Structure 1
Amino acid sequence: MMRRFLLPLLALLWLCAPVLAIAQTAPAAAQTAPAAPAAPTLPALPDVTVGQVGDSKVSLPLQTLLLMTAITLIPSALLAMTAFTRIIIVLGLLRQALGTGQTPSNQVLVGLALFLTMLVMMPVGEKAWAQGMAPYLNGQIDFATAWQLTTGPLRDFMLAQVRETDLMTFAGLAGHGAYGSPADVPFPIVVASFITSELKTAFEIGFLVFIPFVIIDLVVASVLMSMGMMMLSPMLVSAPFKILLFVLVDGWVLIVGSLAASFN
């Protein structure tokens, strides 16, 4: 079960593989190059001095430095290329609509968004693992083929959520015309279009979530005004009614289920 939850995260880590491939290509070429004097060989990547202890310098292989840099890109990949953006925005707007301040806390919302993202992205991660990562680790395919097969499911997932207007906007910014097929769309344009589309979709869902709570606020404010209790905050009085309504309709299940079903 733990392996199934880790597959989407491994697929995201795989997106950083080009950096690692560049870091490993040079030393590999230097080791496998022929020993003939006329054949040029690529030099190994040098060590990088990262500190000094006393009189001794502390060096770090450039390959390790690139690996550590690639690992730091995982949170950005999580935010940019998965369902996390839409889910966390909707949950944040829901908390604001309820008027409960910092309840649930940010840790609770992020935790719920992460596990819901794993649930949504699990089919994509499993497909990417089966098609690209597993055959490459078993030595059945080369790196270029593995990269295409691994990013293919993630690319299809993002393209299914992208609006055509957003895609054409970024294509125009890049100086491109209309694309003949989805495979012709460059990966950076897919990611940029996906992020903007997710933001728009998240705010649309948040608007629909806000409507019933705004109606409750208006009704409570009107009742307080008619009773002459203008000094009493309507938000304070309406908060229990909004929480009661949300609990009676089993709001968390509705929100989570609707978010998971909103992805094509």
Structure 2
Amino acid sequence: MARSLRLCLTCLPLFLFALPAQAADIPGIPAITVTPGPDGNTQEYSVTLQVLALMTALTFLPAMLMMMTSFTRIIIVFSILRQALGLQSTPSNQILLGLALFLTIFIMRPVFEQVNETALQPYLAEQMAPLEAVEAASQPFRKFMLAQTREDDLGLFMRISGEKAASPDDVSFWVLMPAFVTSELKTAFQIGFILFIPFLVIDMVVASVLMAMGMMMLSPIIISLPFKIMLFVLVDGWSLIMGTLAASYGL
């Protein structure tokens, strides 16, 4: 065992000196390949770099889903509804997220179809450059966001950024995005406030009845919860809420 160890230690320097010579003969993998254009000024990047940029852009997909679509308004309304009903974990977060996601796809379907026709299909057919496809894809989203953004919120972020525009169509995308999110939050809380009122009335009535009967030790939530669920089921609450959310976007 000791003899083998001494032999390995003796051969180790020879191996370390031989390694750079062998590594020099091994061809490396190019990280970036840039090809000059026909006119000598433009440059084209290799497919490997384009795939890298695409994979990097995919990391922003969840943020784009929340900040550029109707997802924010829908999930906030669902969360406020669950609190108004007094149900802490029913429906679960996974169910609410799934409902919000598929309702978002339903609401955003015209936008997605327009993006597919004007940007994705021409790019796949090699009729449009990548940057041109991105610019074309942003136009349907820009139109949707402008239609849902309040002028006050848009003006607020324009004043903060110091940007000036002759019309809302000239506002940059970086100013439009926070204005759109602010408007969505405001609208979501307005809808949530309206949803809270009937359930709050039931809680107040039940609490008053229990106090009048002298049952102060009994929690009003335990008594009011079945009545709130019954009211929500009788008025077909889920259909009303989903229909109201879809109608709030002009569908």
TM range (shorter): 0.7 to 0.9
Superposed CA offset, 1:145-193 (max 9, x none):
433322111100000010111101110111123x222331100111110
What TM-score results when the alignment is normalised by the length of structure 1?
0.76
Q: Which aligned pairs between 1:14-93 and structure 2 lie closer than 5 A?
A: 27=33, 30-33=34-37, 65-93=52-80
% identity of equivalent residues: 55
Distance 1:41 1:121 in 2: 37
Are 2:157 and 1:153 equivalent residues in the alignment? no
Distance 2:158 2:234 in 1: 46
Distance 1:211 1:104 in 2: 20
Return the offset for 1:134.
Answer: 1.1
Residue in structure 2 matching 1:243, options 224, 229, 234: 229
Distance 2:49 2:132 in 1: 26
Return the offset for 1:71.
Answer: 1.2
Q: Residue 100 of structure 1: SS of its match in structure 2?
A: coil
Are 2:201 and 1:197 equivalent residues in the alignment? no
**Partner of residue 231, structure 1:** 217
**Partner of residue 165, structure 1:** 152
Return the offset for 1:43.
Answer: 10
**Partner of residue 246, structure 2:** 260
Residue type of the alignment partner of 1:257: G
Quick check: 2:65–2:71 contact (8 Å CA) kept in 1?
Answer: yes
Q: Which aligned pairs between 1:67-146 and structure 2 lie closer than 5 A?
A: 67-146=54-133
Quick check: 2:146–2:176 contact (8 Å CA) kept in 1?
Answer: yes
Return the offset for 1:66.
Answer: 3.6
Gaps of 5+ in 1: 1-25, 46-60
Distance 1:156 1:199 in 2: 19
Residue type of the alignment partner of 2:184: E
Distance 1:88 1:237 in 2: 28
Superposed CA offset, 1:211-261 (max 9, x none):
000000000000001000011011111000000000000000000100111
Distance 1:84 1:143 in 2: 27
**Partner of residue 220, structure 1:** 206
Return the offset for 1:102.
Answer: 0.3
Residue type of the alignment partner of 1:258: T
Change (3 A) 1:142 1:64: closer
Runs of 4+ in 1 over 3 A off after TM superposition: 39-45, 61-67, 141-145
249-258 vs 149-158, which moves further: 149-158
Distance 1:121 1:41 in 2: 37
Distance 1:220 1:148 in 2: 57
66-75 vs 142-151, which moves further: 142-151
Return the offset for 1:79.
Answer: 0.6
Distance 2:91 2:64 in 1: 26
Distance 1:143 1:105 in 2: 40
Distance 2:192 2:201 in 1: 15
**What's the RMSD between the two structures over aligned residues?**
2.3
Return the offset for 1:143.
Answer: 3.8
Aligned length: 218
Residue type of the alignment partner of 2:97: V
Residue type of the alignment partner of 2:66: L
